Amino acid sequence: MDAFVAEFVGTSLLLAMGSGVVANVVLNKTKGQNSGWIVITTAWALGVFIGVVVAGPYSGAHLNPAVSIALAMTGDFHWGDVPSYVLAQVLGAMFGSGVAWLVYKDHFDATEDQGLKFAPFATAPAIRNYTSNLISEIVGTSVLIIVILYSTEPVLQDGNNTPIGMGSLGALPVAFLVWVIGLSLGGTTGYAINPARDLGPRIMHQILPIKEKGGSDWAYSWVPIIGPIIGAALATGIYLLLDQGGMV
């Protein structure tokens, strides 16, 4: 397990759970059909949890190009490592969404609505307005990044600031963060807040032999890529100005 493999595996787990829960909720004849938004947002949050648990010790568990870019901007991550992390994240997202499709293949076949067949793979806006949709992704990702940057490890106030290790529980804060973003801000676009999470599965929707699947909505695909990148840069800039008094 090295950083590349960790990012691949962690993002694969995230997307297997994320794509899987959407398939469970929207596709025909599943046990969870029509169980709703709270189920989707909860499973996405817990998917983040398990991805971070696995990848954290080896790569820092970015699982998201926006996170990699933000940490590079702060100087906590080397810019030269960003491309390999992003590649691992996109490939992992492709693999994870492919696993979810394989698990739910019979239910994809039993579903006629092309929009519902697409939903487990990539995001789509509730109301298509590219300006508003872009703003939604920028704001959602800004919240994600600013909270991550201000997160601190727990320490004992014993004069030495001794770290208190929480083990796998250390992944809980980011899981709660993704959960609240989904519940509060995700209703407009489906809260990609992660370019790899959207692009990888969208590619899989394009290439997988899904019965009567329809198009992959590439006209919209730039929003969940550009929006999170802008949001990450904006949030990191604000963090650097407020916390450090200047840009790195």
pLDDT in tens, the chain (248 residues): 899 999 999 999 999 999 999 999 999 999 999 999 999 999 999 999 999 999 999 999 999 999 999 999 999 999 999 999 999 999 999 999 999 999 999 999 999 999 999 999 999 999 999 999 999 999 999 999 999 999 866 555 556 666 555 555 668 899 999 999 999 999 999 999 999 999 999 999 999 999 999 999 999 999 999 999 999 999 999 999 998 654 44
pTM of the complete model beyond 0.85: yes
Task: Give Dmax (Cα) for the chain.
Answer: 64
Angle between helices 130-150 and 223-239 (to 10 degrees): 40
Q: Which amino acid is at 27?
A: L
Cα separation, 86 vs 95, whole angstroms: 14
Structure tokens at 169: 């529980």
